[in-house]
Amino acid sequence: MKICFFSAEYPPETHSGGIGTYTHGMAAALTGLGHEVHVIAATGKDESDILADGIRVHRIRKKRMKPKELELLAYSHAVGKKARQLGCRFDIVQASEFGAEAFWYSLGKRAPLITRFATPFFLTERLNDGTIFGPRPVLNWLEKQQALRSDGLYASTKALARVIAAEWGIGLSRVRVIPNGLDIARVVRLGTSNPCPELLKDKAFLLYFGRLEERKGIRVLGNALPALLRRYPHLYMVFVGSDLGYHRSSLREYIQERAAEDRGRVLFFDNLAQEELFPIVNRATIVILPSLWEAFGFVCVEAMALGRPVVATSGSGFEEIIAAEESGFLVEPGNSEALARKISECLDDAARLSRVSEGAVRRARDFDASRIAAGLLDYYHEVQGAWQARRMTS
């Protein structure tokens, strides 16, 4: 098949979250299965068309504009134009709903469009208490319209499918559930073959990695830290990720204030390339992911692939990755006391941690990109068949 991904976020230049992680891993897996894969991605530099690891990557400029909706609409138009200019008869075009990258393409499709739900803007803002951009009804409308005009829809978890279907009035039966996939072997290779920062080599530490934002439960973890650091005087807490803040205040500063008595044992790193990040993950005693709600959680699978015990939260996508007490641990979201208690229980029971570590490695293999890609291809053929049937009868 000839497949085109629209993904402004794509490593190495524009990799900042799960959409880039997903696209990179799935494009590689599909290429490895013998398919021709194109990715239309953003750049702040010179536009280019290159072949990278067998994947045809087309970088187009994304200009900063105000209001944000105008910037996204202009980029969506540029993406649609680039797809036409490639002169390729694609069998499938796929995009995330976030930012409505495929909205313009949806108005005049030349191939079936599949929207993979990541985390829509309405949900991101709701979980962040409206602190990122504030109300954006036009952006919400653009994302919804892209979805409604798509020929196929899928989500990585049942939890995400239910939320979006209810919010946008989409029949739940229209939304297929296909888990996200990762190149598990690559995660393990990078985590075990690259050096850990000198600062951490002789330290035992807990780890959070990902963006520092309200929806990730950063304040909840900050509130749990004082008791943990007092109880375990040898233990450090490490955060890796950019600080998005909360109501115009720094989350990093919030954490430092909460752990003021032991702030020397709270360490921060900004965004790191995976080559630098995964060795840190590989050395962590426990990875803590206290999200208020999570659609899926690539960071969870990455940590599990490296055999790290993960303490995450119940009630969302994590529950479809972690089997409690078998491949990880789950606690109630938003409850700092429960979080601190669960972490303490784990730290005090080495045999329990070892057992769950082994279960985490086994479970992570279920999300290997090559395995997920095979199921995704079945869905592609289904959507493509329905598209061709409609065109023959129209």
CATH number for the domain including 318? 3.40.50.2000
Return the structure tokens found at 172. Answer: 């739940």
Is residue 132 pLDDT above 90, yes or no? no
**300 near 328, Cβ under 8 Å?**
yes
**7 near 40, Cβ under 8 Å?**
yes
Are residues 227 and 107 located together in one domain of the fold? no
Are residues 385 and 329 located together in one domain of the fold? no
Tell me: the pLDDT tens digits for 137-191? 899 999 999 999 999 999 999 999 999 999 999 999 999 999 999 999 999 999 9
Greater model confidence, 125 or 175: 175
* Burial classification of residue 310, based on how many CB atoms lie within 10 Å of its CB (0-12 exposed, 13-18 middle, 19 or more buried): buried
CA distance 312 to 288: 6
**210 near 239, Cβ under 8 Å?**
no
Are residues 134 and 273 located together in one domain of the fold? no
Instruction: Give me the pLDDT at residue 287, please.
Output: 98
DSSP for 291-340, please give it: -SS-S--HHHHHHHHTT--EEEESSSGGGGT--BTTTBEEE-TT-HHHHH
Instruction: Give me the pLDDT at residue 17, please.
Output: 81
Is residue 134 pLDDT above 70, yes or no? no
**What are the residues facing 206 on neighbouring strands?**
237, 286
In order of 95, 108, 271, the CA distances from 26 in angstroms are: 12, 26, 22
Q: Determine what percent of the chain falls in helix, strand and coil, rounding each to the nearest 5.
A: 50, 20, 30
Instruction: Give me the pLDDT at residue 248, please.
Output: 84
What sign has the CA pseudo-torsion 30, 33, 35, 37?
positive
* Burial classification of residue 32, based on how many CB atoms lie within 10 Å of its CB (0-12 exposed, 13-18 middle, 19 or more buried): middle
Instruction: Give me the pLDDT at residue 88, please.
Output: 93
**102 near 113, Cβ under 8 Å?**
yes
Q: Give the other-Cβ count within 10 Å of 290's Cβ.
A: 26
Are residues 21 and 39 located together in one domain of the fold? yes
Number of residues written out for the chain: 394
CA distance 313 to 21: 22
What residue numbers bound the domain in which 119 lies? 2-183+369-393
Are residues 130 and 29 located together in one domain of the fold? yes
Tell me: the pLDDT tens digits for 191-213? 999 999 999 999 999 999 999 99
Is residue 367 pLDDT above 70, yes or no? yes
Are residues 65 and 129 located together in one domain of the fold? yes
**How much of the chain, in percent, has pLDDT values that exceed 90?**
90
Region of 37 on the Ramachandran plot (φ > 0 left; ψ -120 to 50 alpha; else beta): beta
Are residues 147 and 206 located together in one domain of the fold? no
Is residue 136 pLDDT above 90, yes or no? no
CA distance 52 to 50: 6
Tell me: the pLDDT tens digits for 46-98? 999 999 999 999 999 999 999 989 999 999 999 999 999 999 999 999 999 99
Is residue 14 pLDDT above 90, yes or no? no
Helix (H, G, I), strand (E, B) or coil at 16: coil
Calculate mean pLDDT across residues 113-122.
96
Question: Structurally, how many domains does the chain consist of?
Answer: 2
CA distance 288 to 342: 10
Which of 131-140, 154-163, 236-245, 355-364 is predicted with the least confidence, judged by mean pLDDT? 131-140
Could you give the angle at which helices 18-32 and 298-305 cross, rounded to 10 degrees?
60
Are residues 192 and 341 located together in one domain of the fold? yes
Are residues 272 and 328 located together in one domain of the fold? yes
Question: How sure is the predictor about 15, in pLDDT bands with cuts at 50, 70 and 90?
Answer: confident
How far is CA 132 from its chain centroid? 17
CA distance 262 to 342: 21
Are residues 221 and 343 located together in one domain of the fold? yes
Mean of the per-residue pLDDT values of the chain? 95
Are residues 282 and 388 located together in one domain of the fold? no
Are residues 54 and 139 located together in one domain of the fold? yes
Calculate mean pLDDT across residues 32-58.
96
CA distance 387 to 22: 25
